[in-house]
A and B are shown apart, each in its own frame.
Chain A
């Protein structure tokens, strides 16, 4: 590889249009607020457009963008009230009680563990992409997810007993 691959504008736009909801909703798990999450996603994509020449291409483009989105969301949190919980969805279908338990326990996880969970099980990223998005080694992703599972299992059991 000689230099950077760079990201094309049309690639970024296609990613934005196809995955906007996923980016915004996972960002909301960091900011605790959909509006602020949307703002973070918009700012993050504007940053990605400006800096697209620096995308090295040694990982997936989506992972590179995720990193920018999560950084934007964390910056938002640092600038304002820290997110301790994220807002409830307007309508919770399925299993309202179990969903409330899960939401509560996820909210109490450390931010990196919680974000790793959403990236893996909601955004459907593989370990390599999660590692790039969170700035950690691939091996650490597995450990982080294991820790999240253990914490969730323990807390959900506490809630139910």
Chain B
């Protein structure tokens, strides 16, 4: 007999030295985070000293432009696109699947920046074969005007009311030869006209216009370009968005935050958040999904991503966006998803996984 019963073991073990103190546990947690933050600040300060020292040695601050697109967050020293803000004069989101070019979005600013994102474009400057990531070129003032004129000259602007919806089961008649066609679902072309962005509803030759918009470098003259070579668009801020899945079981944002690692929870609780609603599916079968987003700096975004990686959250859709997901505790089959999106110069948060 070895007398391994609980009573015997209870007698021979030292008694507990003190009562439980959960406050002390939380204090240690915060102290650890604070030490970690101080270490990061010290490292950042050291890096800054080195960077400034190096820049001084060369007599100027050196820029670090990325010659290749990226998905998610830029490298630490990447130079953000300047100026931070910009007036949007053209936006288009077109589909050239018939040409195996996939979907392409572009934003053109009054300062000449042409920022674009294309799927299925296997470019050497692209992030990967599924997405280029956000790329940037710079047009001259003349280039912006040429692009704008090309769009305006080929279509009717959004002053014409759209045709009434067709009855269920009735297909639209094929357009007569030479007659403008209605821009299909999933395509948007907008230009600034008379001080506001208006949609092009009925371009005379949509296919030709789409081909030209997808690759402006193929037809714009050299004088249209201030910088034709591609570089990555580096934002100055990001949104971190989170929500639950499936969409018919929304998860309260405060509950989602309570499921995150403490540093991420603390950072996001201290931020304002906005509710955002999106649709997925196809016409007639749309599902509405609502998420919550907070704005973060690049440094904060990197710290959050590092925390999620350390927590072992699963990355998903890595080819098109930086996103994580994990299952919630409990019997409900719910998944929390968290994703990062860049802001463009006109202040819009862009869905990078939307094609």
A residues lining the B interface (CB < 8 Å): 1-9, 11, 13, 16-17, 20-21, 24-26, 28-29, 33-35, 37-38, 42-43, 45-46, 49-54, 56-57, 86-90, 92-95, 98-99, 102-103, 106, 117-118, 120-122, 124, 149, 152-153, 156
Contacts and interface: CB of A to CB of B under 8 A. Distances in A.
Contact of A53 (B3, B12, B26, B313): B313
Contacts of B327: 1-6, 57
Q: Which of A3, A17, A42 has the most CB of B within 10 A?
A: A3
20 contacts: A1-B327, A2-B327, A3-B335, A4-B313, A17-B20, A21-B16, A25-B15, A25-B16, A34-B14, A34-B15, A34-B17, A46-B26, A49-B26, A51-B310, A52-B262, A52-B311, A53-B308, A90-B15, A102-B12, A153-B2
Given A1-B327, A2-B335, A7-B329, 5 more contacts: A11-B329, A20-B16, A35-B17, A37-B17, A51-B311
Contact of A2 (B11, B16, B325): B325
A128 to B, nearest CB: 19
4 closest A-B pairs (Cβ-Cβ)? A53-B311, A3-B314, A46-B28, A20-B20
Interface in B240-295: 258-263
A78 to B, nearest CB: 19
Contacts of B9: 117-118, 121-122
A9 B314 CA distance: 20
A4 B326 contact: yes
Given A8-B258, A25-B16, A42-B25, A117 B314 contact: no
Contacts of B168: none
Q: Which of A25, A90, A94 has the most CB of B within 10 A?
A: A25
Interface in B282-326: 308, 310-314, 324-326
A56 B312 contact: yes
A4 B263 CA distance: 18
Interface in B15-59: 15-22, 24-26, 28-29, 32-33
Contact of B13 (A7, A17, A89): A89
A34 B15 CA distance: 8
Interface string B191-209: 0000000000000000000
Nearest to A32: B14
Interface in B116-153: none
B311 A24 contact: no
B171 interface: no
Nearest to A87: B14
Given A8-B329, A38-B18, A90-B15, A3 B313 contact: yes
A13 B22 contact: yes
Contacts of B13: 25-26, 28-29, 86, 89, 118, 122
A134 to B, nearest CB: 17
Contact of A16 (B7, B12, B25): B25
A51 B313 CA distance: 11
A103 B259 CA distance: 42
Contact of B261 (A13, A21, A42, A51): A51
B198 to A, nearest CB: 43
